[in-house]
Every structure is written in C-alpha cells, then in structure tokens.
Structure 1
Amino acid sequence: MTYDSAAWGALAFALSVLLGVVTFFRWRARGLAAGLRGSAWTILPVAAWLTGVLELAFDIGDSVGRWALHLVFSPVVWLGIVLVGVSVVLFGASAVLGGRGGREVDAKGTPAVVDRRRSGPPAIDEDLGDIEAILRKHGIS
C-alpha cells in the first residue's frame, strides 16, 4: 500500500504539532534547555518527511511486521529453524570429534588412526637440519 506525498506531509505535520504542544509544556515546567531539546524533536517529523525517511521507516516497520507474522505462523519457517539447530549441533559434534583424532588414509589407501593431540614436532628435512646446525654454530637460533 503506497501513500501519496500529501498524506505523508499531513502525518509529519500532525506529529510536529503534537510534539510542539508537548515541548511548550515541558519548556514552561523545566526551562529553556528542555524547551530547546523539545524543539529539536518537534522538527524531526517534518525533516523525515522531506528527506523520505518517514516513508522508509514505515516500509521497514511493515516489512518487519510481515516477517514476524510469517515467522510465528508458518510451519515451514519452524522447520527451517529446527534445521539450523541440527546444523549447529552437527558443527559442534564435528569440532569435538575433530579434536580427539580421526581416521586418515595412508599411502596404500588403508585407514590409519592418527591421534592429533599427541603429535610431536614436525619432522625436519635433512637440508633444514644442516642449515639449523650452521645457524647454531654462529650463535643464531
């Protein structure tokens, strides 16, 4: 449903008049600072109308309301939520099981159990070992 510019202008004007009345009474009761703050709030609805933000805010509110109604009353959406929950549980289980070690396949294609928690330092290539020895000899570690 779309509203023409005159309807949005009338809404903005009505909101500004209402806020202006509230501002007047707050200024009388609380002083100049409260009156200036109220004046700032009073001109915002007209500024929102002139910039198109008033209609945008209405469209966003309308879209969120429709989404919320669809969320609450649609069994298909609830099925999607359940599937998201199952996915989260599966990710968690894979993280727990992945930390315990898993099955890997060796060069021959046979499964080999590897415990990833107790793996030692990586094997050093012979060339790297020679380089390390030279560096240690010169005091570089």
Structure 2
Amino acid sequence: MSFDQIAWLPLCAGVTGVGLVLSFLLLRRRGAAAGLRGAAWSLLPLAAYLTGALPALWQVGTAVVGFFAGLVLSPLVWAGVAVTALSAVLFLVSGVLRRRGSPAPAAAGPSVTAKPGAAASAGAAGAAGALPGSRSQPQPQPQPRAGKAAPAAKPAADDDFSDIEAILKRRGIG
C-alpha cells in the first residue's frame, strides 16, 4: 500500500480521539501526571498530519522496515554478520593474550634472560656510535657490594612464581 492510498486525516483523527479517551481514563485511575502524558502522546498523530510530517515519517518507516526485512532474509547479510562476529571474537582473544603477556618473537627485541641494564647500555652505546664524529665511551658497570654476594640469576620461568614462593615462605608453607 502506498502513502497516497491511505486516508490520513480520518486515521490520525481517530487515533488521536482513542488516545484522548484512554488518557481521560488514565487521569481518573492514575492521576494527573499519567493523564497529561497520555494526552501528549495522543495529540502527536494529528500534529504530524497537520504539519505535513507524515510523508517523511512514512519514508523513514518504510526504509527501516525494508532494511530489517533485507537483513533477515538475505544470506549475504548473514555472512557479513558472521564475519563481524568472528572479528569481535578475534579482538577479544588478542586482548586476553596481551594481558597474559604472551612472549614476543625473538627478533622483536632483547631476550627475556638478558640483564635489564645490558639492553639500555647497548642501546645508548649503539646510538652514540651511530652519530658521526662522536666517541663511544663505555658506561661504568655497577659493582656488587663487598658485604653481600650477588644472587644468582633465576630463569625466566621462576620469575612468575617468585611472589607466590615468598607468600608461602612467610606463612611457613613449603
């Protein structure tokens, strides 16, 4: 049915009339606030007809209905929805993997077992040596204190459990 085939004035006036009757009943049962709100909603169809907004509302309504009908009935659209869902799942999985701290490839940076100061001093020496006319001076390495022996470097896997081991030792477990 097209827009021109509908008698809009009687339809809008009828919907407004029924709405006003229901608004009067709301006024008596639930109070003035509910009745006035119902009357406001009831006057909108007649206002849309009188202002000439009905053709625009008709076009919007048919466009929305056509979009959703095409969405539900088109296998191509459902394939797009599936690809979108797959993309969302991949984003979520990558976020979980980032939080867990998955190891980076070896070529991406210094190794996990390297000393933290070694990478910084190597980067500074490399940057200074790269400039023309600059002299590379070795950075003095911090000396361990004479009173205490330096603890042996633990493997990277033990770093994950060091906090847990400390807690267990404090509580006298293990």
Structure-2 residue corresponding to 1:83: 83
Distance 1:67 1:117 in 2: 54
Distance 1:57 1:117 in 2: 64
User: SS at 1:113's partner residue?
Assistant: helix
Give the letter for the 1:48 counterpart: A
Give the letter for the 2:17 counterpart: V
Instruction: Report the structure number with the largest CA radius of gyration.
Output: 2
Structure-2 residue corresponding to 1:45: 45
Indicate if the aligned counterparts of 2:16 and 2:42 stay in contact, CA closer than 8 A: yes
Shift of 1:16: 0.5
State percent identity of aligned pairs.
35
Structure-2 residue corresponding to 1:13: 13
Q: How many residues align?
A: 117
Indicate if the aligned counterparts of 1:8 and 1:55 stay in contact, CA closer than 8 A: no
Structure-2 residue corresponding to 1:114: 108
Distance 2:110 2:8 in 1: 65
Which segment is superposed worse, 115-124 or 22-31?
Answer: 115-124
Distance 1:69 1:25 in 2: 37
Indicate if the aligned counterparts of 2:12 and 2:46 stay in contact, CA closer than 8 A: yes
Which segment is superposed worse, 68-77 or 31-40?
Answer: 31-40
- Whose helix proportion is higher, 1 or 2? 1
TM-score, normalization by structure 1: 0.55
Which segment is superposed worse, 50-59 or 87-96?
Answer: 87-96
- C-alpha distance 27-117 of structure 1, shift in aligned 2 (>3 A): farther
**Aligned: 1:66 with 2:58:** no
User: SS at 1:42's partner residue?
Assistant: helix
Determine which structure has greater relative contact order: mean sequence separation of CA pairs < 8 Å that are 6+ residues apart, divided by chain length: 1
Residue-by-residue CA offset, 1:99-119 (whole Å, 9 max, x unaligned): 7434xxxxxxxxx71138968
Which segment is superposed worse, 27-36 or 87-96?
Answer: 87-96
Structure 2 residue runs without a partner (length 5+): 132-174
TM-score, normalization by structure 2: 0.47
Which segment is superposed worse, 10-19 or 30-39?
Answer: 30-39
Which segment is superposed worse, 87-96 or 11-20?
Answer: 87-96
Structure 1 residue runs without a partner (length 5+): 103-111, 128-141
